[in-house]
Amino acid sequence: MTGPEPLPAPRAGREVYRDTIARLLGKDDRLVCLDSDTGLFTPVDWGADADRYINLGIAEQNLMGAAAGLARAGRIPYVNTMATFASTRAVEAVKLDIALPGLPVRIAATHSGLSAGHLGATHHSLEDLAVMRLLPNMTVLAPADAAATEELVRASVDLPGPVYLRLGRGATPDLPADLPPLRIGEAQRLREGGDVTLIATGPYPVLAALEAADTLATEGVGAGVLNMHTVKPLDTEAVCAAAAATGHLVTVEEHWAVGGLGSAVAETVTGEGVPCRVSRIAVPDHFAAGHGGQRHLLLRNGITAEAIVEASRNSPSRRQFK
């Protein structure tokens, strides 16, 4: 029986990262892959580069300190742990050993947001954007699909200073093809729209923003969509331009409302004095409600296209500021 080739199964961000880093390691002696017994690299055959894959065990403070030592010696360490361990358990080592001297350590943080799903509050990471963007010298990247993950991992190699790569656990759908090029520090414009601008980061938030924009279009509301894959340094120019053009920004993130992308956007527009309303679609100020997989938890905690539509329509402030 013949037929069209089946579409390739969507790949998990962390697996794309793993495969990319395994390829890069063979081409660049500076790279070292430092693991904290995540199990992510079990399928990899490192071949001649096996000495540069180093599993330091379940010890995240030492993981970050050792990465700093390797970076001091001229290496570019890719450090692997879960997002919540990187941003809470090991954060002092990240702050003092890595961010303070501005060393080129790349923190590959898996299981971010609610992607750990059933594993619960101990494994959810709803604080990492806030913590990491707080640190001077840090670049914070959050790819929204497999292709972007590979691109950002490759681009991260020669970035100055430390980098935090926010990765999910499981596979997520790909974004539509033929997107504008991905440039670190620049918002990726996915849709034009003059009534409201949706600013989203990470796979499901960006997908939800695109779905919401479609719905809003049927209601005659023009919603622009910005994929904010770089949370720090934030593309303040794009944020302010969107605020000035539409008067209403709706931020979408798989993160607590406190301190994340929405906070960064609000700080920007108030600091720049651009009058607008900022609505934040994020996990409210409580530990994630419900129990289940990532999509279920997103639904239970209000990170949905419906919530974005609701926040975007009938906004008196939108008319007021325009």
- Which residues are at the interface with another protein (CB under 8 A)? 32, 51-52, 54, 56-57, 59, 61-62, 64-75, 77, 92-93, 96-97, 100-101
Radius of gyration of the chain from its Cα atoms, rounded to whole angstroms: 20
Sheet holding 248-256, edge to edge: 188-191, 223-227, 196-200, 248-256, 277-283
Q: For residue 63, what are its two tokens?
A: 């993981």
Q: How far is CA 218 from each of CA 176, 262, 309, 313, rounded to the nearest angstrom? A: 20, 26, 11, 12
The residue among 61 and 215 lying less far from another protein, judged by its C-beta, is 61
Taking the complex as a whole, the smallest distance from the CB of residue 167 to another protein amounts, in Å, to 23
| Helices (runs of H) and strands (runs of E) counted in the chain | 12, 12
Taking the complex as a whole, the smallest distance from the CB of residue 144 to another protein amounts, in Å, to 32
The residue among 57 and 271 lying less far from another protein, judged by its C-beta, is 57
Taking the complex as a whole, the smallest distance from the CB of residue 50 to another protein amounts, in Å, to 11
Rounded Cα–Cα distance for residues 53 and 35 (Å): 7
The residue among 29 and 237 lying less far from another protein, judged by its C-beta, is 29
Phi/psi at 248 (nearest 5 deg)? -145, 120
The residue among 64 and 307 lying less far from another protein, judged by its C-beta, is 64
DSSP string, 29-98: TTEEEEE-S-STTTT---GGGGGGEEE--S-HHHHHHHHHHHHHTT-EEEEEEEHHIIIIITHHHIIIII
Taking the complex as a whole, the smallest distance from the CB of residue 99 to another protein amounts, in Å, to 11
Taking the complex as a whole, the smallest distance from the CB of residue 58 to another protein amounts, in Å, to 9
The residue among 64 and 210 lying less far from another protein, judged by its C-beta, is 64
Phi/psi at 107 (nearest 5 deg)? -95, 110
Rounded Cα–Cα distance for residues 75 and 268 (Å): 35
Task: Supply the DSSP symbol for 287.
Answer: S
Taking the complex as a whole, the smallest distance from the CB of residue 89 to another protein amounts, in Å, to 11
What b/e readout covers 298-308, taking b as 16+ CB neighbours within 10 angstroms?
Answer: bebbbbbbebb
The residue among 32 and 242 lying less far from another protein, judged by its C-beta, is 32
Rounded Cα–Cα distance for residues 152 and 238 (Å): 20
Q: For residue 84, what are its two tokens?
A: 């919540």
The residue among 58 and 119 lying less far from another protein, judged by its C-beta, is 58
Taking the complex as a whole, the smallest distance from the CB of residue 142 to another protein amounts, in Å, to 26
Taking the complex as a whole, the smallest distance from the CB of residue 86 to another protein amounts, in Å, to 15
The residue among 62 and 215 lying less far from another protein, judged by its C-beta, is 62
